[in-house]
């Protein structure tokens, strides 16, 4: 009985040591990740000119399309030709 108890005790001790080693590895990885995040946050952020230029071009195109679709002065509605006419039965 003492042999089996000693074996269980040794097994528990080994499992505990493995768990502690895994926990230390986890903490070390978390600390490395934290250091990387701090380093990334500390570096200056360079704005990419391409994105700003693309936004400006898109805004210009949308303004042009809007002015084409909705001109400032609407043509006189009374002089417009009729495009659709209802006919009553003859």
Residue with the bigger pLDDT between 15 and 6: it is 15
Query: How far is it, in rounded angstroms, from Cα 65 to Cα 27?
Result: 57
Query: How far is it, in rounded angstroms, from Cα 30 to Cα 36?
Result: 10
pLDDT of residue 52: 83
pLDDT per residue as tens digits for the range 8-63: 788 898 999 999 999 999 999 999 999 999 998 888 877 677 888 888 999 999 88
Alpha helices in 43-90 (DSSP H): 49-69
**∠5-24-31 over CA atoms, to 5°?**
165
Kindly report whether the global pTM for this prediction surpasses the value 0.85.
Answer: no
Query: How far is it, in rounded angstroms, from Cα 7 to Cα 39?
Result: 48
Residue ranges covered by each domain of the chain: 2-70
């Amino acid at each position: 009985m003492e042999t089996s108890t000693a074996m269980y005790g040794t097994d528990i001790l080994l499992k505990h040591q493995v768990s502690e080693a895994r926990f230390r590895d986890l903490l070390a990885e978390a600390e490395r990740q934290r250091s990387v995040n701090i380093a990334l946050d500390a570096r200056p952020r360079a704005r990419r000119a391409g994105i700003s230029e693309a936004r400006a071009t898109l805004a210009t195109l949308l303004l042009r399309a809007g002015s084409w679709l909705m001109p400032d002065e609407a043509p006189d509605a009374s002089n417009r030709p009729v495009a659709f006419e209802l006919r009553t039965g003859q």
